[in-house]
């Protein structure tokens, strides 16, 4: 299983995401190291957990209240061997820009409008789609959630109300997507608490997961991560 650690940035600092209530997010407290500095956190991800990919949500950009472009660009340059998945809303002119080779856009449905769906073809599959939910309600264009012709191979199923909670992943929703679209790689996001949750996701055929809180609290440790990442799955 591919485990991808998540970093949420707001107003220049890493914050602890909880249930999608962004106005209430507080600065991160972590057991991983003695600092919440983003460079030190990513260094731990790289050296202690051997992650090869990091997901960053630029909450200012997503909510159209500024961005962390300079910080994130410096981070990508400092860790050239790490792949960064970056969610910063829907940047309307992004496909015209050049990005480093260790960058991949995450386009979240919550940031899209109906007239944006056709534009997804311009990315030529080089992006991660996030289908976003809050309290089981779809966020963004409803038609996108049942239009696989616009989807890339890798799709995040993001349940915001479970993020940073003790609710566990949304097994029912993930199972439904797996059954309807078995040719897609669905990535679980929101509510993953422990090793048991990862095992439950494996049973569904989920091969990738986004994790934040369980890493910072130590509920899932480096040895457990290594065991899951060492597993191989049939094509």
Q: What is the pLDDT of residue 100?
A: 81
Total structural domains within the chain: 1
Assigned domain for 185 exists:
yes
Q: Specify if 234 maps to a domain.
A: no
Binned average pLDDT, 10 residues per bin, the chain of 235 residues: 95 87 85 91 95 96 92 95 93 58 93 89 86 94 95 96 90 96 96 95 96 94 92 61
Domain extent at residue 109: 2-229
CATH, residue 81: 3.20.20.70
Strand 13-16 relative to strand 2-10, pairing: antiparallel
Neighbouring CB atoms inside 10 A of 64's CB total: 9
pTM of the model: 0.92
pLDDT value at residue 23: 80
Domain assignment present for residue 235? The answer is: no
Q: Could you say which DSSP state residue 170 is in?
A: -
- Tell me, what's the pLDDT at 71? 95
Say what the pLDDT of residue 232 is.
65
Any domain includes 191: yes
The CB density around residue 93, as the number of other CB atoms within 10 Å, is 6
């Amino acid at each position: 299983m591919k485990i991808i650690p998540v970093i949420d940035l707001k107003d220049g600092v890493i914050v602890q995401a909880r249930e999608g209530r962004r106005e209430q997010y507080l600065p991160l407290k972590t057991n991983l190291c003695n600092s919440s500095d983003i460079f030190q956190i990513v260094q731990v991800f790289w050296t202690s957990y051997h992650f090869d990919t990091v997901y960053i949500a630029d909450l200012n950009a997503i909510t159209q209240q500024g961005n962390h472009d300079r910080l994130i660009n410096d981070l990508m340059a400092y860790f050239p061997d790490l792949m960064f998945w970056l969610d910063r809303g829907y940047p309307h002119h992004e496909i015209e820009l050049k990005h480093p080779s260790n960058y991949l856009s995450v386009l979240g449905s919550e940031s899209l409008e109906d007239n944006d769906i056709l534009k997804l073809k311009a990315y030529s599959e080089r992006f991660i789609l996030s289908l976003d939910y809050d309290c089981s309600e779809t966020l963004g264009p409803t038609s996108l959630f049942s239009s696989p012709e616009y989807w890339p191979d890798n799709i995040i199923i993001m349940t915001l109300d479970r993020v940073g909670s003790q609710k566990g992943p949304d097994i029912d929703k993930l199972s439904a997507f797996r059954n309807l679209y078995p040719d897609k790689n669905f990535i679980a996001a929101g509510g993953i608490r422990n090793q048991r949750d990862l095992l439950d996701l494996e049973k569904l055929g989920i091969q990738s997961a986004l994790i934040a809180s369980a890493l910072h609290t130590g509920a899932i440790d480096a040895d457990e991560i290594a065991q899951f990442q060492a597993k191989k799955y049939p094509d």
